[in-house]
Structures are given as C-alpha cells and as structure tokens.
Amino acid sequence: MLNYNIEMHILILPSFYPEKNTPVNGLFFKNQSKVLVDKTDKVGTVYTEQKSLKKIFSDAGDHLYQTTREVDEGILTYRTHGISLLNQFPIGAAIWVKVTLALVKKYIEENGKPDIIHAHNVFNAGRVARACLSMYGIPYVVTEHDSGYLLNEYSSKALKVAKEVFNNSACNIAVSKSLGLAISTSCNLSFVKVIPNVVDISLFELDFSKRREEVFKFISVGNLLKNKGHEVLIKAFSVFQKDRSNAVLEIYGEGPEYENLNQLIKQLNLTEAVSLKGKIAPIALVKRYQQSHCLVLPSFRETFGVVIIEAMACGLPVIATRSGGPEDIINDENGILVDPGDIESMAKALTGIKDNHHKYNFNNIRKFVEKNYSENIVANSLLSLYKTIGG
C-alpha cells in the first residue's frame, strides 16, 4: 500500500474521549486521530465532556464549565469541561449537540474551516457532523463503533436519526464486517466501508523476558459488564482448572459486575487462581500482556475488540467468542473462536491453548497485526478515503 500524505485539515468529532480521570475512555478514537498527525496539514478534535455530577464536584476548579485549547500529542484539541448532560436521553443529547456545535464554531473561527469532518459514532458526534454540513458545507464521514446495532437496541425513532446521519455522509465506516452488515440492515444502507481500529505497535511489543514459564497465565481485559461474559469465563476456568493447578487467570477492568464476579470466584474455590485486578493504564497493560501466555475475550457482543490486536502485537494467541468483531481477526494461526456463552467450549479452548501453546508462532502473530492494524496501514486507508472525498 502507498504511504499517503495529503494537504488537508481534518476535524475529528468523538462521541466520548479520554479525560483526566478516565484516560482510556474513547482512547481508540484518539489513537485513530494520532495516526493522521504527521500525514496531514492539521488534525483537530472538538469534544464536550460528559462528567458525572460526582466527578464535577470532585474535580472542582479543574476548568469547570470552561473551554480549553491545547495540542495533545499533535492533535489540536478543544474541550468544553465539566458538563454533565445525560446525553443518553433525548434532551441531554440535544443540549450536547448544541454545546458541541458552539465549540465547532469557535474552532472554525480560530483555525479556519476544515476540509473534512470525521465523526465517531452517530450518537451523538454524527449528529453534530450532519449539522455542520448544513451550516458550513463541510463534508463528513462517520465511523460507527457501537454494539447497539448488533444487539438491536435502537428504537425506530433512534434509527430514523441514524439514517439521516448516514444518508448524508460522504462515506459510512464500520470497524468490522459484522457491524457493517448490522448497520446496513438496520438503516437500509447499500454500502458500509470497513476500516478497523488501530494498535500502536511501538508500544505493544514482543518481550517475554519477565514471563514465568512455570505458571501459565491467561489474561482478560474489559469492563465488568454482563455483556463482557466474565461469568462464563470464570465458570469455564473452573472446569479447566480441575486437572491443572499451574494456571491462573487475571481479569482487568472495573464495573457493576465486580461483586457478583468476586462472589462467583469464592463459590467456585478459585481465589488462588482467579483474580479481579481492577482498571489498568495502557502502559501498565503492555507489561501484563508480556507476562501472560494468552488473552481471553468472552464477550456476548463485540464490535471489534481492540484488546485482541493489542495482545497479538505482544505475540499472544487469543481465545475469543464469535461475537462480531473477533471473527475478522482470529484465525487458526493466532487463536481459537468459540460460541458466546458456551462454558464447555470455552473450557476446551483454555485447555487447547495451554496444551498447544508451543505451536503458536509469536513473531507471526505480531506480523499479522503489523500487516492489518498498524498505524501506517490504518492511516493510509483513512487518507485515501479523505483524498477521494476532498479532492
């Protein structure tokens, strides 16, 4: 693939984004923006924060209700701070769109009109992009990441809004084939382009020098939500563990299922083998991958699965479910796919990876990620698309 560089000003509109106390929230949006920094004239981001009331009070004095401007890892970033609008509800969403549009106006006044707007998720950044097309004549593209289309969660009213955004965009993008198909079906679209998420291969790299070979370590990373399937994984690990005392499972993430999962671990007498480690920063997560032997992602629905390509960049084989996105990534050379919610199949996969771990070529697993999900690959896909739209 050619290495593209284009003379364009790109404005990114994320629906959520990393904040001071939530540094991984929407990090995949930011990572995709970062790949454009050295390949375009200018990359900007406009974002209205969505802090909870609790966070607003705990962060008192931290630019509350102010707009700030900074260059964040090469991205010119405008933020409106400290606004809690509950934009999962119609009124809150409408206010968020209005506030963000005001911030876009300020951005344009100070930096000129961008050539293309790239919105991440229809709800609600896509709505802002649609309004900017009407107000300023700026073409936009939308990348959708939301699992709501896979889960048929959206009402007819919400889908009407989504169709309006999709039908007026220059290109609609999904991060996986399954999500693209679900969007096409839900919104009656004839074409959805697939451009995957990106992994920083300079950060996630091979290094097994600190791995303990006498203990086989499985790692799972994801918010502790029912959809993430951790209960199934823990039960499967209990079945797998009956004949294997030298294996452990570490689960990283936080969420409302913590207490339920903790109780399940105790009930199954797994306290010595399974641990809930809480949230973890990306830099620290790299070391955990490097100390592990296999990543497990047991989700019921997954639009992509960024942790899969992170772990594979570190050379790990992966066990994941046929939940949407993982089917695009996992093959016989880099892991095992099982059906969501299938405890017996998950247990067999755990056994299969442990007993055959030596058969996986860790360098080839990483090369697969470099070839399909590295920064240069994703950047070229985006820039070739922008060039087609912006001329």
Peptide bond into 364 cis (omega under 30): no
Residue 137 DSSP class: -
Q: With 80 as the cut, is the pLDDT of residue 117 above it?
A: yes
| The pLDDT of residue 197 is above 70 | yes
> Is this structure's pTM higher than 0.85?
yes
Predicted local distance difference test score (pLDDT) of residue 105: 97
Query: Bridge-partner residues for 68, per DSSP?
Result: 79
The matching CATH number, chosen from 3.40.50.300, 3.40.50.2000, 1.10.10.10, 1.10.3720.10, for 9-198+374-390 is 3.40.50.2000
* Segment 206-220 mean pLDDT: 91
Q: For residues 363 and 212, which has the higher predicted lDDT (pLDDT)? A: 363
| Residue 51: pLDDT over 70 | no
Q: Using the predicted structure, report yes or no on whether residue 81 has a pLDDT greater than 70.
A: yes
Q: How confident is the model at residue 20 (pLDDT cuts 50, 70, 90)?
A: confident
Q: Which fold has domain 216-371?
A: Rossmann fold (3.40.50)
> Which amino acid does the sequence have at 357?
H
C-alpha to C-alpha distance for 72 and 371, rounded to whole angstroms: 27
Q: Which of 81-85, 185-189, 221-225, 345-349 shows the lowest per-residue confidence on average (mean pLDDT)?
A: 81-85
Q: What is the band of 65 on the pLDDT scale with cuts at 50, 70, 90?
A: low
Between CA 4 and CA 8 the distance in angstroms is 12
pLDDT digits (tens, 9 = 90+) for 125-175: 999 999 999 999 999 999 999 988 988 889 999 999 999 999 999 999 999
**What pLDDT does residue 1 have?**
45
In the chain, what are the domain boundaries?
9-198+374-390, 216-371
Percentage of residues of the chain with pLDDT beyond 70: 92
pLDDT of residue 247: 95
Neighbours of 184 (CB within 10 A): 17
Q: Is the pLDDT of residue 58 over 60?
A: no
Greater confidence, 112 or 86? Answer: 112
Q: CA separation (Å) from 293 to 202, 210, 211, 234, 335?
A: 20, 12, 8, 17, 12
pLDDT band at 59 (very low <50, low <70, confident <90, very high): low
pLDDT at 111: 97
pLDDT band at 190 (very low <50, low <70, confident <90, very high): confident
Do 227 and 256 meet the contact criterion of CB atoms below 8 Å apart?
no
Q: What is the mean pLDDT of residues 249-269?
A: 97
Cα-Cα-Cα-Cα torsion 98, 99, 102, 106, nearest 10 degrees, comes to: -160
**Over residues 10-31, mean pLDDT:** 85
Can you give the pLDDT at residue 62? 54
Share of residues in the chain with pLDDT > 90 (%): 77
